[in-house]
Chain A
Amino acid sequence: MNKKLIVITSIVVFSFILAVYTNLTESLGPLGLDTRFLGKLYVYFTNHEDLRLSTASLEPVTAIVWDFRGLDTLYETTVFAMAIIAIYSLFRIDSLEEKGSLNSSFTIIPRLVTKILLPINIAIASTIAFHGSISPGGGFQAGSILAVVGVLFVVIFSYYALNAKSINPHRTLLFMSLGLIAIVVVTLIPLAFDVFFDNAYLIQNQPKLDSAFGYPKRVGGLVFGGSIGLFNIFEFIAVSFGFLTAFALLSIPEHVFKEKLRGEESLE
């Protein structure tokens, strides 16, 4: 009882100090009047006329995420992929050949609404992914929207219906790895350019003062943002298939795992 009181008191004191400190210091709280200098710099150089200084994108947040602080995002994607791979190895299953009934136990209403909804969902997700360098959005958000498609499909139809469309955890993990490899290739292309032709740097987007390498700024009249657009598309693929892997593993029927656990116990 005494221990509980101590913990609650320290939580209250901690929150109070946090609130008062962040609210009263002018540069931290929501009542600050001016944007910080670093933020202004990022916004200013996002779409500079001089291509050697700009990121060739129209969206400062995406530019920070994939260009100014690109290494951060690279490692963040790695953390996400590591989590998915850890889940995959925790729930490893050798054969998924088992066939079950494809009959959904739901009435026509949920099935019809899902059929209406799935194309809308896919269209919205790809819009957010491909417009990532123009308007707010990007690869991760689009991928997590697309993952909802998988969840809806499993819930309304069944896991076996997903399997009948030849989507299983092994295959989705393969596609996620392909997306991650594509991201790595985009970061390494400037290095190959450096080895064979001219001066260039890792994760370079637009031409710099002493190097001529640059990804295309526009594709077909639309602002593509050089490497930012490529990163968005590949991150979209990686994240959506990573989520699909997780959800497909979650929706494997329980009795499969029950049998597997029993088998391991008998081995011991």
Chain B
Amino acid sequence: MNSEYVVFILSLLVILTAIINLIGVLGFYRFKNFYLRLHAATVSTIGGAFYPLLVLSIIAFIEKEHYIGVSLLLSAFLILLLSPTGTHALARATYRKRIAIPEPLIGDKIKEEEASS
């Protein structure tokens, strides 16, 4: 009986991640700048794909579906590894080609490095 409540709460968490996904999509539409849109896309990949996979793997372990649980954990790990890397590569390539202007700019490390080298 106890595990049923746990599964219910975890399912609520999955619904919460769907809302995060919606926020990410809205940000992707509403933000003006390429870099800000990239930020919104990363929000929806980490909050909308990594966390629900983690929660689902816990649910699978509670339901004693170990095979599914392990594969969900693996894919969550891969998303955690790949999504920031992809964002980093995209942002860097865009900056170096000067395609988009980084508008709310606080500091510029890349320019400093290029100037020093």
Residues of A within 8 A of B (CB): 105-107, 109-110, 113, 116-117, 156
Contacts and interface: CB of A to CB of B under 8 A. Distances in A.
B30 interface: no
19 contacts: A105-B93, A105-B96, A106-B89, A106-B92, A107-B88, A107-B92, A109-B85, A109-B88, A109-B89, A110-B85, A110-B88, A110-B89, A113-B81, A113-B82, A113-B85, A116-B81, A117-B81, A117-B82, A156-B89
B33 to A, nearest CB: 22
Nearest to A105: B96
Contacts of B93: 105
Contacts of A106: 89, 92
Interface string B73-88: 0000000011001001
Q: Which 8 pairs of residues, A with B, have the shortest CB-CB distance?
A: A113-B85, A110-B89, A110-B85, A109-B88, A109-B85, A113-B81, A106-B89, A105-B96
Contacts of B96: 105
Interface residues of B, number: 8
A114 to B, nearest CB: 8
B76 to A, nearest CB: 15
A174 to B, nearest CB: 32
Contacts of B85: 109-110, 113
A116 B82 CA distance: 11
Contacts of B88: 107, 109-110
Contacts of B82: 113, 117
A66 B81 CA distance: 37
Given A107-B88, A117-B81, 7 more contacts: A105-B93, A105-B96, A106-B92, A109-B85, A113-B82, A113-B85, A116-B81
Interface in B75-113: 81-82, 85, 88-89, 92-93, 96
Contacts of A156: 89
A109 B82 CA distance: 10
A107 B81 CA distance: 15
A106 B92 CA distance: 8
B39 to A, nearest CB: 17
A113 B83 CA distance: 11
A219 B30 CA distance: 58
Contacts of A105: 93, 96
Q: Which of B81, B82, B85, B93 counts the most A-chain CB atoms under 10 A from its CB? A: B85
A110 B90 CA distance: 10
A116 B85 CA distance: 12
Contacts of A117: 81-82
A107 B93 CA distance: 10
Interface-centre pick from A110, A116, A117 (highest chain B CB count, 10 A):
A110
